[in-house]
Amino acid sequence: MATRRAKICIIGAGNVGATCAHWAAAKELGDIVLLDIPDREGVAKGKALDLACCGPIERFDSRVTGTSDYKDIAGSDVVVITAGLPRKPGMSRDDLIQTNVGIVRSVSQKVAEFAPNSIVIVVSNPLDAMVYTAWKVTGFPAQRIMGQAGSLDVARFRAFLAMELGVSIEDISALLLGGHGDDMVPLPRLTSVHGIPIGDLLPAEKINACVERAKVGGGEIVKLMGTSAYYAPASGTIQMVEAIIKDKKRIIPSAAYCENEFGIAPGARGKGCFVGVPALLGAAGVERIVTFKLAPDEQKLMDESVKHVKDLVGTVVKLFPDLA
């Protein structure tokens, strides 16, 4: 009897979305639907067809299709939301939030309608606010909604350490918590090279420089090529998709819903927030948040990061009161 293939829908056929489709097909994780708005249906179909033609060369049998019809996402196991606009010169944070909440809100309504049993990974920015929006709009259980951020941030941190040390990135283990980008919480004491503490191999100033570079890694790429990164964000996203599709039980830093973990107290309305934490990802989505005791200085940074995330969500609620 034939085994049913997993179905992965990627919403947004821009650089990040198309690269997600590329990585997912190359890993042969399942059949892929690349969806965009009607005005960009040709882009979605064209990129899907181009990618499908790689199959004979790269030896994958994943079916890749492009569409603008949300009916085509029915039965999706995982939905990846990359739709949204990048921040443009002169655009305030509130402007970006207002624009992208509108986009993610519309997408999330369609996901709830046509793929009600899916697990959703949000990539759109500002990430922490967009994950919250998708959660409120879909009405899905929190374990089936998550954001991609930590997997990318950790990858950048590991890459910069490997460059500094001249060693394989495969031997570097690291962890970061908190919000995406500037709000991330570095944990050098939990960073090692094949079990050797990073502090035994690099002076503190070098480690801190790698942390700071990871924080602004996206901005560094924008300055170099005039557009947001897409290879690494897509790779981090598909790492999460693979863990879910294959039920791998991998612990991957993800923007997951917390209420009491890592000192995250419920807010005034008794609600927690989505923030970067080590999440055990499997067939049910975020199956567990892996907790451990933070040092006092780490807890202080985590508290500050959580406050910034809650302020971001507060802006969403201010602009869209029905999402409270």
**Strands, sheet with 172-173, edge to edge from the N-terminal-most edge strand:** 172-173, 192-193, 196-197
Is residue 180 annotated as a catalytic residue, yes or no?
Answer: yes
**Helices (H), strands (E): how many in the chain?**
10, 14
Contacts of residue 315, Cβ cutoff 8 Å, sequence gap at least 6: 93, 94, 97, 129
CA atoms of 291 and 302, how far apart (whole Å): 13
Task: Extract the runs of DSSP E, i.e. beta strands, from the chain.
Answer: 7-11, 31-35, 64-67, 78-81, 119-122, 145-147, 172-173, 176-178, 184-186, 192-193, 196-197, 250-258, 273-282, 285-289
Whether residue 154 contacts residue 168, with contact meaning beta carbons closer than 8 Å, is answered with no
- Pairwise CA distance, residues 160 & 215, whole Å: 11
Indicate the residue type of 3: T
Q: Strand 285-289 to strand 78-81: parallel, antiparallel, or no bridges (unpaired)?
A: unpaired
Selecting among 22, 180, 194, 308, the annotated active-site residue is 180
* 181: Cα within 13 Å, side-chain hemisphere: 12
Q: Which of 215, 167, 171, 247 is nearest to 6 (CA)?
A: 247
User: Which token pair is 200?
Assistant: 């035994």
Contacts of 269 (CB under 8 A, 6+ apart): 324
Question: Omega before 126 cis (within 30°)?
Answer: yes
Strand, helix or coil for residue 318: helix
For the chain, the first-to-last Cα distance in angstroms comes to 47
- As annotated, the active-site residues are 180
